[in-house]
Amino acid sequence: MSLFISYKVVDESPTIISGVFCIIGPHSLVIGRFLYVTMIGMQPVVNNIKGCGKMLAPIKGFERDKTPYLIAAYVTDKSLPYVTADDAARLTHINVAFGLVKDDAIVTDHLKNLYMLDKIRSDNPSVKIVLSLGGWGAGGFSEAASTKEGRETFISTALQTMTKHQFDGLDLDWEYPCYGEASIACSPDDKVNFTTLCQGLREAIDQQGKKDNRHYILSIAAGADQYFVDGTEMDKVEKFLDYVQLMTYDMRGGFQTLTGHHTGLYTGTGDLFRISVDASVRIFEKAGVPKEKIVIGSAFYARKWNDVPDNNHGLYQMTSSFGGYGARYSELAENYINQNGFIRYWDDEAKAPYLFNGREFISYDDPESLKHKSAYIRDQGLLGIMYWEHSGDKKRELLQTLYEELNKK
């Protein structure tokens, strides 16, 4: 079956498009017209179609180009002034980190650089700027989601904040429903309450979208491993979301004394902890999230272990302490990669680089690993990639790699 569309853009967001379509099947042909296309995430949904199923002569047109892959940057308030016009041109989405939950309400008075959003929009009017809510150690979600009144306050204030600052949507970064490891409140009821909260947000921002004649984004940042799926109802939640951003970084380090790849594409032989980008995608797909809604994560910073045995170049070795945060990628490139006693190694099984100097092991992403992640996105039919955090790539070597690889013809 083939689909041909001829159209013109009415609203340059682009959110409103009018034109004609032609569907050619093995035994039939359907032509008609559509009045508009609403962009849900990066996936077009054609509305108000009128057509017929008669055998008619084909309408001349062209096959619509595939929607560009999503490239999203998490940008902290401190980093907003450093988002350049070139950055905005290479990104499809920016997640501003973070709005917080206080007494069930969304607050942003701690964010001092939101005035920069107008400049970013002027640099690239098509980039989507989303407010991310939460982050590691940011509480208030469990309490707000636990009651009808709390959810109503959460949703109404989120909506007010979104419209006041002209955000293109909201991103929930609750870390994590049903878990209190980040020293936040939690409850077994979070599992159902998270679904209810997402449903309420979807309904509210859709109502606002009708008033504003546009679509607002709703996404989440999800922990990469099975624990997040066990603490949520992803088969239900995904229906309310434009896309799911998998935090496929910090997969080693914070809770493990075994060295390994904290943002590796595949799981290597000999790795006791089996999570990787690919394993995470499989977990969420099995839980009911469509591939075309999945956004994988990349890290613009490193994880580091000290006092590592000098075996196997430090890879998959037990240490006396957890892996802490290491340098940002720019610092790695300037002072660590094949410098000051550190040697860069490549794990072709995991498609990931690492550094070792005989006692310190460092895991990170680089242009080579991002090329493999980009190829994986294309091969698997995923929506795209996001990264934490924008300031880690001062020379934009990593962002440029993602842009080039995901915009190949």
> Which tokens hold the place of 183?
């020293």
Cα distance between residue 175 and residue 178, in whole Å: 9
Instruction: Tell me which of 12, 63, 149, 175 is the catalytic residue.
Output: 175
* 181 belongs to the catalytic site: no
Is residue 71 within 8 Å of residue 404, measured between CB atoms?
no
Strands 93-102 and 105-107, by their bridges, are antiparallel
For 192, phi then psi, to 5°, come to: -80, -40
- Angle, vertex CA 233, rays to CA 232 and CA 239, nearest 5: 125
Q: Give backbone dihedrals phi and psi of 349, rounded to 5 degrees, phi first.
A: -75, -45
Residue by residue, DSSP assigns 48-96 as S-EEE-S--PPPP-BPPPPPPPEEEEEEEGGGGGG--HHHHHH-SEEEE
Are 25 and 4 a contacting pair, CB within 8 Å?
Answer: no
Residues with catalytic roles: 175
